Amino acid sequence: MNGTKEITLATQILEALPLVSQMAMAELRNQDDPIVLNQVMVLRMLLTRPFNLSDLAKEHMVSLPTMSGTVSRMVKQGWITRTRSQEDRRVVLIELTAVGRARLESVLNHFANNIAARLNTLSPAEKDDLERGLFILKNIFTP
């Protein structure tokens, strides 16, 4: 059974996450080269390895037609490519391009700088507390 402290912490996490997402989406809208948050998430996922369309859709909890549209727009931007699997020619893999990697790095650097500016207002003790809390949060949500 969850105690009052756990429920309070869970509520605070659920209140904080949308604020970070809203900041990220606002930053993306204000860039010269538009990109949406779900495209950033696809690029991040493709950093690890190529994926097929079904796996991308499943990971992002969207329909195949929705992911297909996202992929098509990203292919047009030159951020990703579609290639046939060498093991099974029926399988089409979605891969990150050098342009896509550079775009992702640019977005992530922009986010990091924006967040760093906000963190600059914290005291050293608050930064240490936040670092410990984020470490714990990441550990409890890492599969």
In this structure, what CATH number is given to the domain that contains residue 84?
A: 1.10.10.10
- Determine the distance from the C-alpha atom of residue 77 to the mean position of all C-alpha atoms in its chain, rounded to a whole number: 18
Q: Which pLDDT band holds residue 1 (cuts at 50, 70, 90)?
A: low
Q: Compute the distance between CA of residue 13 and CA of residue 108 in angstroms, rounded to an integer.
A: 22
- Strand (E) or helix (H) holding 95: strand 92-96
Q: What is the pTM of this model?
A: 0.78
Give the residue numbers spanning the domain of 80. Answer: 4-141
- Strand (E) or helix (H) holding 51: strand 51-52
Domain count, the chain: 1
Q: Compute the distance between CA of residue 72 and CA of residue 141 in angstroms, rounded to an integer.
A: 31
56-111: per-residue pLDDT in tens? 999 999 999 999 999 999 999 999 999 987 888 888 999 999 999 999 999 999 88
